[in-house]
Structure 1
Amino acid sequence: MTQPISMIAKSLVRERMRTGLSLAEIARRAGIAKSTLSQLEAGNGNPSLETLWSLCVALDIPFSRLLEPQVQKTQVIRRGEGVKVLAEQANYQATLLATCPPAARRDIYLLTTQPGADRISQPHPVGSVEHIIVTQGRAMVGLTDAAEELNAGDYICYPGDREHLFKALEPDTLAILVAEQN
């Protein structure tokens, strides 16, 4: 069984990494010494309840998250499985591969496309970004007025908050779409 300080140490590191903030910045926001936070993240010390609460406020997390072990799980979705969404005006199918976990803003889809009607997407909320990796075939992808031709293995990232396009250029073109939202 994991000791509480060991679990707290792992949780502090995990949550600080999630925020993208430095050890010094979290310590400053919590009103504690950087060396104190460093020791806690190393699994040393016996933090007071007040120190832990201050860290939770600085990390913007509930207190209970410090005492939750991170659960890693494996999920495999085979080709042809998963929740599918079909476009009405294009031969375009999106298969949801992963949803956005709490406090994160990303969804991952497998796109199965055919030449024909283009998939033109209206702007998503401000700050949205889309990442596409073509895994099979060829496609025109990106902003409607600046789409790029991509081959299998090519990657593109573009603002999803502007009108954008996915046009299959070969039968059975497959791509991975990662949609982020701020």
Structure 2
Amino acid sequence: MDAASEGVAGPALAEGAADVGGRVRELRERRGMSLSELARRAAVGKATLSGLEAGTRNPTLDTLQAVAAALELPLTALLSPPPATLSGAAVQIQLLRVFDDGPVTYELYRMRVPTGLAQRSSAHQVGVTEHVTVFSGVLETGPVDDPLRAGPGEYVEWAADVPHTYAAPGPDDVLASLLIRYPRVAR
């Protein structure tokens, strides 16, 4: 779930995380990265990023994922405290738990994809994988060039360091769990 979405993305921060801009600025500066460099790496407009840092723009989930990938961090590292719900063009996720396990961080989400909607997400940083268990509906997800299909009770996983997609082509909304695995980058 990242920068390039099909459709119109709503605000990412449905609840909480009021100081995401300050957190992004702090993490960017800690890495010695200019605003222009982060905007380039995240493929986000410099004005958008500046507005995010200044607190004058409410970022989409797609923008937050792109910035997190450019900073080589899990999404939740940008959100202090993490909000209860994030929304993209098609995907709505609710953070359930963050697990730090040595060299790996896991984020566990409850996910909903309304029927008939699709979202294209840009690549996460190298080594990130996504794991989805579908509880209801039919989900098309995974690499844009080779999407996977899963129905109730089925599990799919893929390397999320390539553009990937989420779609609910069937008659029912998709309800699923999403586990994102981020390897910790040595600095």
What is the rounded CA distance, in whole Å, between the counterparts of 2:117 and 2:132 in structure 1?
19
Contact 2:90 2:167 in 1 (8 A): no
Q: Please give the TM-score of this superposition, normalised by the length of structure 2.
A: 0.49
Contact 2:91 2:166 in 1 (8 A): no
Which structure 2 residues correspond to residues 44-83 of structure 1 after superposition, within 5 A? 83=84
What is the rounded CA distance, in whole Å, between the counterparts of 1:173 and 1:137 in structure 2?
4
Work out the percentage of aligned pairs sharing the same amino acid.
25
Could you tell me how far 1:148 is from its partner in structure 2?
Answer: 1.7
- Determine the structure 2 residue equivalent to 1:133: 133
- Determine the structure 1 residue equivalent to 2:157: 157
SS at match of 1:126: coil
- Determine the structure 1 residue equivalent to 2:79: none
5+ long unaligned stretches in structure 2: 1-82
What is the rounded CA distance, in whole Å, between the counterparts of 1:138 and 1:169 in structure 2?
7
Contact 2:130 2:178 in 1 (8 A): yes
Give the aligned CA root-mean-square deviation in angstroms.
Answer: 1.6
Point out the structure with max Rg over C-alpha. 1
What is the rounded CA distance, in whole Å, between the counterparts of 2:130 and 2:149 in structure 1?
16
What is the rounded CA distance, in whole Å, between the counterparts of 2:101 and 2:138 in structure 1?
34
* Cα pair distance change 1:115/1:172, threshold 3 Å: closer
- Determine the structure 2 residue equivalent to 1:85: 86
What is the rounded CA distance, in whole Å, between the counterparts of 1:180 and 1:124 in structure 2?
11
- The code of the aligned residue for 1:99 comes to V
5+ long unaligned stretches in structure 1: 1-81
Moved over 6 A (4+): none
What is the rounded CA distance, in whole Å, between the counterparts of 2:96 and 2:128 in structure 1?
19
What is the rounded CA distance, in whole Å, between the counterparts of 1:174 and 1:145 in structure 2?
23
- Determine the structure 2 residue equivalent to 1:95: 94
User: How many pairs are equivalent?
Assistant: 99
Which structure 2 residues correspond to residues 34-49 of structure 1 after superposition, within 5 A? none
* Cα pair distance change 1:97/1:127, threshold 3 Å: same
Which structure 2 residues correspond to residues 104-143 of structure 1 after superposition, within 5 A? 104-143=104-143
* More contact order relative to length (CA 8 Å, sep ≥ 6): 2
Contact 1:143 1:164 in 2 (8 A): yes
What is the rounded CA distance, in whole Å, between the counterparts of 2:115 and 2:173 in structure 1?
8
Contact 1:114 1:169 in 2 (8 A): no
Contact 1:136 1:174 in 2 (8 A): yes
Contact 2:141 2:148 in 1 (8 A): yes
Contact 2:136 2:176 in 1 (8 A): yes
Could you tell me how far 1:172 is from its partner in structure 2?
Answer: 2.1
